[in-house]
Amino acid sequence: MVFGRSRHVEKLTETTAHEISSELKWFALYVMPRSEKKILHKLLQKGVVSYLPLTDSIRIWSDRKKKIKLPLIPGILFIHGTQKELITALETPGVVSVIRYMGKPARIRDYEIENLRIITRQADGYTLLEDKHFEEGDMVMVTQGSFYGLLAQYIRTQGKHRVVVEINALNSFIEVNVPISFLEKINKKVA
């Protein structure tokens, strides 16, 4: 596959000057599979603030074990910048396209990126310590432990208490086991 100036870049560059926002936003990019780290390095060299959530994984060969870092969401890389940085990122070899919502580059909320950072700091689940009453779908915040500050939706599955972290623009969900005692209900909507 040859990567040149894609139609996505051309469409963005046709935007008039008054439509280009100078506001910093998070965007999600589709990138070539298994090349996320290389593309991250290229974007950082170009001065584009980028984030690739990584998780630890153990790979076993016949003669050894090795702990490696793999993307939490394969094929997805995040950038933080203006539309100008987005165009620069889209011109980078290996970047396939920007994730779109209703025809425009999807905006990833700051708290969604922070949720990914919290999740990648801690990969282990917890055991249930005590019971509190939450209803399925309640918005909760983790108030202690490794996932402190995580905003999520509460669910209960097969006797275990879990929270689901949603990234709306990606239509992605990550399920995390958290002791019910670490959760606190949030009464307001998350913007």
In the chain, % of residues over pLDDT 90: 34
* Region 41-61 average pLDDT: 88
Threshold 0.85, pTM exceeds: no
Mean pLDDT of the chain: 78
**What are the extents of the domains in the chain?**
7-108, 110-191
Q: Is the pLDDT of residue 6 over 50?
A: no
The 10s digit of each residue's pLDDT in 84-113 is 999 999 999 999 999 998 889 999 999 999
Cβ contacts of 35 within 8 Å, gap of 6 or more: 94
Q: Is the pLDDT of residue 184 over 80?
A: yes
Token pair 């060969």 in the structure block, residue: 61
**CA-CA distance, 18 to 16, in Å (whole number)?**
6
The 10s digit of each residue's pLDDT in 8-28 is 454 554 443 444 557 899 999
For position 124, what pLDDT does the model report?
57
* CATH fold label, 110-191: SH3 type barrels. (2.30.30)
- Could you name the CATH architecture of 7-108? 2-Layer Sandwich (3.30)
